[in-house]
Structure 1
C-alpha cells in the first residue's frame, strides 16, 4: 500500500509540468511573427517616402520637356516671361518676321554684356531685314529688366528659369546655358545656329547670315 500511494504524486507532478513547457514554446514562436510585421511596416513606409522624394518629382517633370530642336525643325510653342514679367508665346515671334534668338549664361556679366551690346549696336540692321532680336537666359525677369535698363538694350529679353527651351535648343546641358545664337525664318523653321560662339563674334555672324537669305 505504501508503494502505490507514493507513486501517484509523481505521475501528477509530471502531468502538471507539461502545460508550462507548452506555454513557453508557444510564447517563443510568437516573437518572430511580431518582428516580421514590424519589418513589413517599415518597408511600406520607405516605399511611400521614395514616391514623394524630390528625385521622383524630377522624373515626373521630365515628361514636360520639349523635343530637341535641330536645323529644319520648327520652333515649338512655349510660353515664357519677358523682362516685364509678361507672358510671351515664342511661336508668335515668328508669325510675321524672322527671329534671331541669342542665349547668354548670365545677365550683366562681362562676356554676356559684350554679346548683348553687340546686338544692340547693330539692332537696326536686323529689323531692316525683317528680323526681330530676342535675348534668352535663365535669369529672372527682374534681373533682365535691370540689365536692359542699365545697358539700354533695344530688344526684349525672355526668361527661361527651368531651361526648357534652352535645353531643347541643345544649349542647356549640365544646368548651365551655353553662349549661342539661333536664327529662325518667318514661320519658325530653324535655319542657322552657332553653339558655342564667342560673345564679340555672335552679332556679326548672325547679321551676316541674315543678309545672305
Structure 2
C-alpha cells in the first residue's frame, strides 16, 4: 500500500550515517519533515539531489523543517557520502528495505531501480505532498514550496 496525501506517517527506525539509532517518533509531531527516498549513494542523479537539498538546507531549517534522506545503502556508504559532499541532514540506512515498504515506495525503470519519492509531512505527522519522479532536481523546489505553504499556516 502506498502512502498518500492525508495519511499519517508511520513510525520507523533505522541507523543514521553515524551508526546511531534514529526513531521517527522523536521528531514526528514536533516539526515538519521532508522524507526523501532515493536509489543509491554516489550516483549522478542521487548526488545532484543530495547536494541540492544540502544547498537549500538552511531554507528548510529556517522554516522549522528537517530533511531525511533514505536509501538501502549501508551506514558506511552513507557516512562516506555525507562526508564527501558535506551533507548536513539525516541519512538513514534502509538496507532491509522495510521503511521503503512501509511507505509503499514503488520501484522504477521496470522495477530495476528503487524509486525516488519525496514526502512532505506537517508537524502533526500528516502527509501533505507526495512527489514521485525520477527527475532528481525537481524534488527540492517542490518540497520547499510545500514546506513554505504548511509553515505559513502555523
TM-score (norm 2): 0.88
Residues matched between the structures, number? 147
**SS of residue in 2 equivalent to 1:94:** coil
The C-alpha deviation readout for 1:120-148, integer Å capped at 9, x for no partner, is 00101111111101111010111001000
Deviations 1:91-139 (A, max 9, x none): 2222311100111100011110000000000101111111101111010
The structure 1 residue matched to 2:17, chosen from 65, 83, 96, is 83
CA contact under 8 A between 1:119 and 1:203: conserved in structure 2? yes
Q: Distance in 1 between matches of 2:143 and 2:17?
A: 23
SS at 1:80 equivalent: strand
CA contact (8 A) 1:100 1:183 kept: yes
Q: Does 1:131 align with 2:131?
A: no
1:169 CA drift (Å): 2.1
Structure 1: gaps spanning 5 or more residues:
1-66
From the superposition, tell whether residues 138 and 175 of structure 1 become closer, same or farther in structure 2 (CA, over 3 Å).
farther
The CA distance in 2 between the partners of 1:100 and 1:142, in whole Å, is 23
Q: Between Structure 1 and Structure 2, which shows a larger proportion of strand residues? A: 2
* SS state at 2:145 partner: helix
Aligned residues of 1:91 and 1:188 also touching (Cα < 8 A): no
* Alpha-carbon offset, residue 189 of structure 1: 0.9
Residue matched to 1:207:
144
Q: 3-state SS of the aligned residue for 2:146?
A: helix
The 3 A distance-change label for structure 1 pair 196 and 94 is same
State the distance in 1 between where 2:104 and 2:89 align.
23
Contact 2:10 2:102 in 1 (8 A): no
- Are the equivalent residues in 2 in contact too, given 1:99–1:183 (CA < 8 A)? yes
Name the CA distance, whole Å, in 2 between partners of 1:78 and 1:210.
21
Residues 48-197 of structure 1: pairs in structure 2 closer than 5 A: 68-173=2-107, 174=111, 176-197=113-134
Per-residue deviation, residues 141-182 of structure 1 (Å, max 9, x unmatched): 110010000000111101111212212323244474211211
The structure carrying a bigger helix percent of its residues is 1
Deviation >6 Å, runs of 4+: none
Query: Which protein, 1 or 2, shows the higher relative CO under an 8 Å CA cutoff with sep ≥ 6?
Result: 2
Unaligned ranges ≥5, structure 2:
none
Equivalent residues in 2 for 1:1-20, closer than 5 Å: none
TM-score (norm 1): 0.65
Structure number with larger C-alpha Rg = 1
